[in-house]
Amino acid sequence: MTPTPRQGGHHGTRFRPQVAARGGGGGLDADTLRGVLAASRRLHTEALRRVEAFLTAHSPAYVAWSGGKDSTVVADLATRVDPDIVLAHFDTGFDFPETLDHQDRLAAERGWNLRRYRCGNALEEMIRTGAWDHEAPDLTIDGGDSEWLHVTRLGPAAMAAADTRANGWLWGLRASEAQRRLALLGRTRGVYQRADGMWACSPIWDWRDRDIYAYHAATGLPLSPLYAKLEALGCPRSSQRTSLIIDPGGLRHGRAVWLKRGWPDLWTRLTAVLPRLKEDA
């Protein structure tokens, strides 16, 4: 049998570089290596093109920047196209302190136009509206009329839109994160108009986790220190979340365990008012 080039044959076996994982101590860094591959560079160029096309069609727009790894990539891409674009942080009053510090530092270093919008306290609303209730179904991002969603997402988004007179926003939603996101973003290719008339665009909608880390490594864009802290606690990359300190839906995925391990004093204060937290850690 004549082997095909795909299987090796006359050209020898395929090259499979063995690289050390990030933080493995010495050796090659898999994220840096992936970031310099031609395939990654093409991905970055394509994402920049999407941002340019969106801003051309729907300017003015702002970037919804939570400080996590995905939205930070979008913030970097957007500021390359428009250095003055507003990076809007939806301040829920329930972010990790590390997140706010990271955003302030990054914005100061790079001259980014960071603005914070706040219309309530997520923890208070979570308790008041029953989202915390043990019998409540998990909230989804398109839950619409929930008051808790109003405080955490919809309210600040409306404030940012009014402040910047925006027609739309850029954000870091990705299809690989959940089935519902795949259904939405796959159908719309990352750009769609909401019922309220606003346009939303995720230029990285089809990126995978490893593409995000590769972008950070290749461009020198720092990750939030929360990721290093969670990794040191033993939290795998797939479970690392940096948005709200807790949310009702994240408990079933073990977020309370990492909170307890990494932030003991905060945990103790929270469990004083939310005793059921202990059931999830």
Partner 1 sequence: MSATSSSLIRHIRYGSLPFHACRLVEVTARLRSGAVLPPAGWFPAPLDGILAHAARRRRLGGNYGLVVDHHTEDLPLTSTARPAGEGQPRWKKQRWVWAATCAWWEPTAEEDVRWIHKRAWSIAQSSELGIDAPGTPANPDVGRYKPQRIPQVATITPTITWWCLGDPDRIRDLLGDVDAIGKKTNAGEGQVAGWDVADIGPPDWWRICWYPDGRIARPFPARHAPILGLENPEIVTVDAYRPPYWRPPITDTGRRAQVQVIAPTTTRPTPQ
As to burial, measured by CB atoms within 10 angstroms (0-12 exposed, 13-18 middle, 19+ buried), residue 19 is middle
Contact partners, residue 18, CB within 8 Å, separation at least 6: none
User: Taking a C-beta distance cutoff of 8 angstroms, is the pair 31, 22 a contact?
Assistant: yes
Smallest separation, CB 133 to partner 1 (Å): 9
Binds partner 1 by CB under 8 A, chosen from 235, 244, 246, 277:
235
Q: Which residues contact 264 (CB under 8 A, 6 or more apart)?
A: none
Which residue lies nearer to partner 1 by CB, 210 or 261? 261
- Cα angle 168, 173, 176; round to 5: 150
The 176-215 site mask, x for binding partner 1 (CB under 8 A), equals: ----------------------------------------
Give the contact letters, 243-272, x = binds to partner 1 (CB under 8 A), - = no.
---------xxx--xx-xxx-xx--xx-xx
Among 84, 109, 135, 196, which residue sits at the site for partner 1 (rule: CB under 8 A)?
Answer: 135
User: Contacts from 21-29 at CB under 8 Å and sequence distance 24+?
Assistant: 22/213, 22/217, 23/228, 23/231, 29/217
Judged by CB under 8 A, the number of residues near partner 1 is 26
Out of 24, 83, 137, 222, name the contact with partner 1 by CB under 8 A: 137
Nearer to partner 1, 48 or 266 (CB): 266
User: Residue 24: is it exposed, middle or buried by C-beta count within 10 angstroms (0-12/13-18/19+)?
Assistant: exposed
Q: Which of 33, 136, 158, 182 binds partner 1 (CB under 8 A)?
A: 136
Are 107 and 114 spatial neighbours (Cβ–Cβ below 8 Å)?
A: yes
Can you tell me which of 134, 165, 196, 197 binds partner 1, judged by CB under 8 A? 134
| Residues lying near partner 1 in the complex (CB under 8 A) | 134-138, 233-236, 239, 252-254, 257-258, 260-262, 264-265, 268-269, 271-272, 280-281
